[in-house]
Amino acid sequence: MIMKKSLISYSVFLFILLGALTAFGPLVTDMYLPALPGMANYFSTTASMVQLGLTTSMIGLAVGQLIFGPLSDKFGRRPLLLASMLVFIVSTLLCIYSPNIETFIALRLLQGIAGAGGIVISRSVATDMFSGKELAKSMAIIGAINGVAPVAAPVLGGFFTDIIGWRGIFWILLGIGILLLMAVVRFRESLKPENRKQEGLKQMFLGFPAMLHNRRYVYFVLQYGFSSGVLFANIASSPFIMQQHYGFSPMMFSIVFGVNSLAIGIAAASSVKFHNTESGTFIGSLGMLMFSALLLFALWLECSFWVYELLLLAVIFMLGLTFTSSTTLAMDSGRENSGTASALFGAVGFAFGGIVSPLVGIGNILTTTGIVFVVCSLFAVFFAVKAVRTSVGMRASLRPLKHLTKHK
């Protein structure tokens, strides 16, 4: 009885830890969003230069996953998690004392690389422990927990921006890093020694090209990448649209941004109700395209805030439907090299974010944001269709084998 309670207690701890680790993306990118306009004044620089700090953090979050993922397949999940937490703490402390915007931008790259360890390894841990529907459920639970981060991060950011400025936000990130380091110390290794990769590091990193031969995996990764383009286009544009175009204060922007982010968590938790996991990817992508087209038209007409907000909420909800299903199906497809599969999957998402974020600042931010939404959604639908067709084809090819096995 005591052992059962201990097991349940650890399972709860594990889901909270994994959810918190996957939340590193929103924490690193979203928490200081309300401070972006203020930071431009603090460093006596342009909005584009301040946005570069967002771009370099996304590049770091992408590159870091390519490093930590394969290494965790060889050395285990726990040592790499401890290393990533320590580097995150040091880099965050250095960000706080940045003397100029150029130093800050460079340190954000290092902070992103460190934060990537938690994101990529959390998916690998879930894949180590679950499969099929159970993996989908675990990803949905983690996604729902993770959904709290995009809500809380900008709200806290908006509150502290007005009180203690952007440095206060980074002190909070430092505190979160220390708490997670303490939690990781309690974490039990999920990858058994016999399941670890035995080949050299060079051969391990050559596993990335091998993953590209898995068509089903590649299609889900690209669908996720273009969907992430929509997410990060919103992250980069919304502080300027809401604060400069609609006249919101940092705190009011934070509350609205938090409510919108909550839609991702709700959609992620709802996606497991689909009979086929692929349905979440296809329906979400199609809905995202439809509402993105309406949003582009509304922004072109310089619509009222409430029209913008309702259409954006619909886009984000559809986006959330695709995230859990695409993550589950991609990780299931790359199960044999889950660290590498998780690394490539996550890196593509943040790489798309790094590419898209500066684009929304070109020309009229309202129209450009709408165009980026539509283009990314269009490609997300294309790859969702390709992925679903590949999955259906695989199931059809397995039916005769199941039939023969049953008769034997």
Model confidence, pTM: 0.71
Secondary structure of the chain: what % helix, strand, coil (to 5)? 90, 0, 10
Distance between CA atoms of 388 and 63, rounded to whole angstroms? 28
DSSP codes joined into one string, 340-367 = HHHHHHHHHHHHHHHHHHHHTTSS-HHH
Question: 104: part of which helix (H) or strand (E)?
Answer: helix 101-129
> What token pair was written down for 13?
């701890």
Q: Is there a contact between 301 and 346 (Cβ–Cβ < 8 Å)?
A: no
Q: Is there a contact between 263 and 170 (Cβ–Cβ < 8 Å)?
A: no
Q: Is there a contact between 203 and 343 (Cβ–Cβ < 8 Å)?
A: no
Q: Tell me the three state secondary structure of residue 206.
A: coil
pLDDT of residue 244: 82
- Within 13 Å and on the Cβ side, how many CA atoms surround 153? 25
Walking along the chain (408 residues) 10 residues at a time, the average pLDDT comes out as 61 79 76 80 81 84 84 87 93 92 93 88 79 68 64 73 82 90 88 75 68 84 91 85 85 81 77 72 91 94 92 92 80 70 80 81 85 94 87 52 46
Amino acid at 400: P
**268 alpha-carbon distance from chain centroid:** 12
CA distances from 29 to 181, 197, 201, 273 (A): 20, 32, 30, 30
pLDDT of residue 226: 94
Q: Report which of 36, 259, 30 is spatially closest to residue 165, judged by C-alpha positions.
A: 36
Distance between CA atoms of 371 and 292, rounded to whole angstroms? 8
Distance between CA atoms of 63 and 71, rounded to whole angstroms? 13
pLDDT of residue 286: 93
Distance between CA atoms of 308 and 219, rounded to whole angstroms? 31
Q: Is there a contact between 381 and 227 (Cβ–Cβ < 8 Å)?
A: no
Q: Is there a contact between 190 and 128 (Cβ–Cβ < 8 Å)?
A: yes
- Which residues, including other chains, have CB under 8 Å from residue 373's CB and lie 6 or more apart? 230, 233, 234, 292, 295, 296, 315
- Which residues, including other chains, have CB under 8 Å from residue 97's CB and lie 6 or more apart? none
Q: Report which of 214, 200, 373, 385 is spatially closest to residue 299, judged by C-alpha positions.
A: 373
Q: Tell me the three state secondary structure of residue 199.
A: coil
N residues, the chain: 408
In 10 A of CB 199, how many CB atoms?
Answer: 11
CA distances from 100 to 41, 43, 51, 95, 385 (A): 12, 6, 14, 10, 46
Q: Is there a contact between 59 and 66 (Cβ–Cβ < 8 Å)?
A: no
Amino acid at 54: L
> What token pair was written down for 293?
């087209």
**7 alpha-carbon distance from chain centroid:** 29
User: For the CA atoms of the chain, what is the radius of gyration?
Assistant: 21
Q: Is there a contact between 103 and 198 (Cβ–Cβ < 8 Å)?
A: no
Distance between CA atoms of 61 and 67, rounded to whole angstroms? 10
- Find where tokens 């039916």 sit: 399
Question: 176: part of which helix (H) or strand (E)?
Answer: helix 148-186
Q: Is there a contact between 229 and 352 (Cβ–Cβ < 8 Å)?
A: yes
Q: Is there a contact between 308 and 367 (Cβ–Cβ < 8 Å)?
A: no
Q: Which domains does the chain have, with CATH numbers?
A: 2-189+202-407 (1.20.1250.20)
